[in-house]
């Protein structure tokens, strides 16, 4: 057993910009896992359908998208089956948006606990991301189930050799959503009205991302805006995901690199601002 | 750090900014920014609030240069009047907030029980919450599991341990919270008035447990309380804080003596107001009239025994002759929340020293400790008052419990003011 009497902690006012204290955060791994389970329990307890919600939500959205954008509006889907085309985008988008939204609420939701007990605050956004990642994995399994059906059927041919890249893309989405999330979380401590803006902003962002339509449409109808459009870091990621798993469209590596750089930048800025906010949080809330 | 010390604090300072820092909304801040840009009046500065100008950009030192070494296994009491900085000190040691200056070092882990049941999740069961609380402290699941039976036994929760804590009674809730904290393997324990939880039997058990922790398990305990009896029983060393500074550090009896002396000074019947800074305009040169002294007339130790004729004198110093001013005495509770105000009739203030004696029937005001905030005001246009001078907490008074007809007054259910009796009539009575 560790002799805790040997561990000396020193508290000083100074704090470096990127003093993440990862070692200490890692010591709290049990807390992270408990927080993740707590989120699940709190989310699905006393609910009729419980964890099935994690599955129903993207499934229903996909069905609605298929009917509205596919059947009624008759938007082209680059030759992929409409259902799979929308599901691929929806699963990724729902991971991104829940992760961002949860991250943005870290401070306001934990205000009481943060002002009463100490633990490395980074634990909370990490637990949030992990919790949403579990949801994402469940949804991905459903997606792969449907995918298998279409692949065996012969209607879809995934780009197999690119599948490892998709893991990197998921990592990128995680970094991006956590970065923006923690940045917004720090800002909402000061500006409470940002909270309204976040939900609204995510909704607008959805329309600026090729979830409900293909980016080919943007290229055709508004070529002058296409370059600007692809600077949305989520746009090339969604495109690439569709290329990898559905074998349609193409990967624009230039924009994918830009988007990766933007994501890393957001992750760094988010952590730095989070660190600064954490310091004075208890005095402000 | 020295080998045998558990906590070492050097030159600790915690500063807070006073006043409203910003509007709190992005919209408000942008508004203020553009107003400043175009040299217009900032729409977010509160109207009629002259205090705003005087306290803005001022800082308050909740902890003002504390040096302290606590040895391993010591049980130290921490006392001081409200606002002395006790809770801030605990918050700093437990790393909830960072210091402005100085350094705190400690050996091992710190558990703080600043408020019971923190980190408890309503949806989780008692058992799950024990894990959660332990994890917040940085303990592993195995360590918590090994303590589980002891905690459950101590908490007296029994079979309800697997019920969500939202269904617990408040008594069960605090018992569980205390049981967890008391059994966690931390080397340093910070307690804030915690022993006042549960029934008398549980309180005794808690005290015994704390004593065990400090004396047998060699834990270091810092205990904040207003209850001198528990401090006496439990601590060997006691620190008295005042205005963020340590004014006494040593054996318990002398500490309590220092504390009571100090408290009496705060509760003086005759108060010099010139040094008080919680006022309309702290800069004396700017004020036309200054309240200088406040004296209770027939009170002993600030206890108002004769509420029917409560009387006091107010002294003020004026730079000019003022007609038709009013003196306002506002009574505020211990949280400094105003509960009642009495107006004087119009008074004329002559240039130089003035003394006004007033009497007031305080019988509507019921049991408790109140501070008196005084104001000298004039009626300006639109029937709005404007301050000549305003002083917060000029004096403290204690109103003892008295029988109201056949009842003892119940503050909890009835508040602190007794209105005039209800009279039958006005409608149709059967």
Domains assigned to chain B: 270-414 (2.70.50.60)
B195: distance to nearest CA of chain A, Å? 18
Neighboring chain A residues of B135 at a CB cutoff of 8 Å: 28, 30-31, 34
CB contact under 8 A, A28 and B118: no
CB contact under 8 A, A34 and B99: no
pTM over the 0.80 mark: no
For tokens 């402005």, name the residue.
B100
Neighboring chain A residues of B123 at a CB cutoff of 8 Å: 38, 41-42, 45
Q: How far is C-alpha B110 from the chain's CA centre?
A: 24
User: Worst-scoring range by mean pLDDT, B88-92, B243-247, B275-279, B317-321?
Assistant: B275-279
Query: What is each CA distance from A207 to A227, A234, B32, in whole angstroms?
Result: 16, 11, 33
B107 pairs with which residues across the strands? A8
Report the SS3 class of residue A110: coil
What pLDDT sits at residue A56? 85
B80 near B249, Cβ under 8 Å? no
B375 pairs with which residues across the strands? B328, B390
Nearest to A116 among B26, B96, B108 (CB): B96
Please state the rounded mean pLDDT for residues B38-43. Answer: 66
Closest by CA to A256, choosing from A242, A268, A239, is A239
Give residue B57's pLDDT band: very low, low, confident or very high (50, 70, 90).
Answer: low
Please state the rounded mean pLDDT for residues B339-368. Answer: 89
Residue A254, chain B, CB below 8 Å: the answer is no
Q: List the end-to-end C-alpha distance of chain A, in Å, as a whole number.
A: 38
Give residue B51's pLDDT band: very low, low, confident or very high (50, 70, 90).
Answer: very low
Neighboring chain A residues of B16 at a CB cutoff of 8 Å: 283
B246 pairs with which residues across the strands? B241
Residue A48, chain B, CB below 8 Å: the answer is no
What pLDDT sits at residue B391? 86
B374 pairs with which residues across the strands? B329, B391
φ, ψ of residue B135 in degrees (nearest 5): -65, -35
Residue pLDDT tens, chain A, 285 long: 456 667 778 888 766 666 667 777 888 888 899 888 887 777 776 666 667 777 888 889 999 999 999 999 988 888 889 999 999 999 999 999 999 999 998 888 888 788 777 888 888 999 999 999 988 998 999 999 999 999 998 888 898 999 999 999 999 999 999 999 999 998 888 787 788 889 899 999 999 999 999 988 888 888 888 989 999 999 999 999 999 999 988 888 999 999 999 999 999 999 888 888 887 777 766
What pLDDT sits at residue A116? 77
CB contact under 8 A, B105 and A10: yes
Query: What is each CA distance from B59 to A278, B20, B46, B335, in whole angstroms?
Result: 21, 12, 20, 21
Neighboring chain A residues of B65 at a CB cutoff of 8 Å: none
B12 near B92, Cβ under 8 Å? yes
> Which has more pLDDT, B18 or A158?
A158
Q: How far is C-alpha A197 from the chain's CA centre?
A: 18
Sign for the pseudo-dihedral over CA of B332, B338, B343, B348: positive
Residue B276: enclosing H or E segment and its boundaries? none
Nearest to A117 among B22, B24, B112 (CB): B112
In residues, how long is chain B? 430
CA–CA separation, A233 and A217 (whole Å): 18
What pLDDT sits at residue B277? 67
Q: Are strands B322-332 and B338-343 parallel, antiparallel or unpaired?
A: antiparallel
CA–CA separation, A128 and B73 (whole Å): 38
CA–CA separation, B33 and B42 (whole Å): 8
Q: Are strands B188-192 and B110-113 parallel, antiparallel or unpaired?
A: parallel
Residue A107, chain B, CB below 8 Å: the answer is no
B67: distance to nearest CA of chain A, Å? 14
Neighboring chain B residues of A45 at a CB cutoff of 8 Å: 123
Query: What is each CA distance from B375 to B119, B217, B294, in whole angstroms?
Result: 44, 55, 12
Strands (E), B273-335: 289-296, 310-318, 322-332
pLDDT in tens, B363-391: 888 887 888 889 988 887 777 788 888 88
> Which has more pLDDT, B234 or B107?
B107
pLDDT greater than 60 at residue B322: yes
A89: distance to nearest CA of chain B, Å? 33
Q: Are strands B75-79 and B220-224 parallel, antiparallel or unpaired?
A: parallel
């Amino acid at each position: 057993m560790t002799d805790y009497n040997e561990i000396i902690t020193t508290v000083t006012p100074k704090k470096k910009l990127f003093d993440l204290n990862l070692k200490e955060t890692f010591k709290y791994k049990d807390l992270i896992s408990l927080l993740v389970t707590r989120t699940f329990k709190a989310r699905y307890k006393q609910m009729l359908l419980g964890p099935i919600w994690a599955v129903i939500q993207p499934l229903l959205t996909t069905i609605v998208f298929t009917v509205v954008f596919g059947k009624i509006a008759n938007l082209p889907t680059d030759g992929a089956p409409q259902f799979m085309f929308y599901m691929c985008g929806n699963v990724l988008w729902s991971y991104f948006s829940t992760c961002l939204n949860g991250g943005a609420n870290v401070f306001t939701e934990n205000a009481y606990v943060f002002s009463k007990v100490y633990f490395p605050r980074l634990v909370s956004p990490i637990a949030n991301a992990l919790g949403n990642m579990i949801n994402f994995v469940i949804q991905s399994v459903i997606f792969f189930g449907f995918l298998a059906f279409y692949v065996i059927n012969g209607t879809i041919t995934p780009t197999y050799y690119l599948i490892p890249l998709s893991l990197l893309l998921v990592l990128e989405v995680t970094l991006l959503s956590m970065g923006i999330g923690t940045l917004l979380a720090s800002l909402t401590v000061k500006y409470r009205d940002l909270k309204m803006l976040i939900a609204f902003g995510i909704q607008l962002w959805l329309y600026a991302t090729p979830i409900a339509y293909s980016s080919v449409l943007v290229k055709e109808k508004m070529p002058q805006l296409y370059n600007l459009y692809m600077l949305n870091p989520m746009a090339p990621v969604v495109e690439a995901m569709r290329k990898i798993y559905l074998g349609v469209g193409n990967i624009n590596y230039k924009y994918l690199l830009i988007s990766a750089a933007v994501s890393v930048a957001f992750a760094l800025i988010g952590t730095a601002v989070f660190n600064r906010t954490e310091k004075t949080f208890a005095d402000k809330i | 750090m020295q080998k045998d010390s558990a906590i070492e604090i050097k030159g600790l300072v915690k500063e807070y900014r006073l006043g409203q820092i910003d509007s709190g909304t992005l919209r408000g801040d942008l508004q203020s920014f553009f107003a400043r840009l175009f040299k217009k009046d900032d729409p977010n500065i509160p109207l009629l609030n002259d205090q705003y100008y005087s306290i803005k950009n001022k800082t308050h030192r909740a902890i003002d240069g504390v040096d302290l070494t606590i040895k391993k296994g010591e049980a130290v009491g921490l006392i001081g009047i409200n606002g002395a900085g006790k809770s801030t000190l605990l918050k700093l040691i437990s790393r909830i907030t960072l210091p402005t200056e100085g350094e705190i070092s400690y050996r091992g882990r710190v558990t703080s029980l600043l408020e019971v049941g923190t980190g408890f999740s309503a949806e989780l069961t008692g058992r799950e919450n024990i894990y959660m609380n332990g994890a917040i402290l940085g303990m592993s699941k195995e360590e918590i599991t090994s303590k589980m039976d002891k905690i459950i036994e101590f908490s007296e929760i029994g079979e309800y341990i697997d019920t969500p804590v939202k269904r617990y009674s408040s008594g069960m809730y605090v018992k569980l919270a205390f049981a967890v904290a008391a059994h966690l393997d931390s080397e340093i324990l910070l307690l804030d008035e915690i022993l006042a939880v549960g029934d008398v039997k549980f309180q005794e058990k808690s005290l015994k447990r704390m004593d065990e922790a400090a004396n047998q398990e060699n834990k270091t305990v810092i205990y904040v309380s207003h209850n001198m009896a528990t401090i006496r029983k439990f601590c060997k060393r006691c620190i008295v804080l005042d205005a963020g500074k340590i004014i006494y550090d040593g054996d318990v009896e002398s500490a309590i003596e220092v504390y009571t002396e100090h408290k009496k000074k705060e509760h003086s019947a005759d108060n010099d107001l010139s040094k008080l800074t919680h006022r309309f305009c702290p800069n004396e040169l700017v004020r036309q009239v200054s309240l200088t002294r406040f004296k209770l007339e027939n009170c002993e130790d600030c206890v108002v025994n004769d509420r029917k004729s409560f009387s006091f004198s107010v002294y003020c110093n004026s730079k000019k002759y003022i007609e038709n001013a009013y003196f306002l005495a506002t009574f505020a509770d211990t949280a400094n929340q105003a509960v009642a105000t009495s107006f004087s009739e119009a008074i004329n203030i002559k240039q130089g020293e003035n003394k006004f004696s007033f009497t007031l029937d305080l019988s509507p005001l019921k049991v408790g400790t109140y501070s008196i905030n005084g104001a000298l005001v004039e009626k300006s246009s639109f029937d709005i008052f404007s301050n000549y001078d305003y002083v917060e907490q000029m004096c403290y008074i204690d109103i003892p419990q008295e029988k109201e007809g056949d009842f003892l007054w119940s503050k909890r259910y009835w508040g602190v003011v007794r209105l005039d009796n209800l009279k039958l009539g006005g409608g149709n009575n059967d």
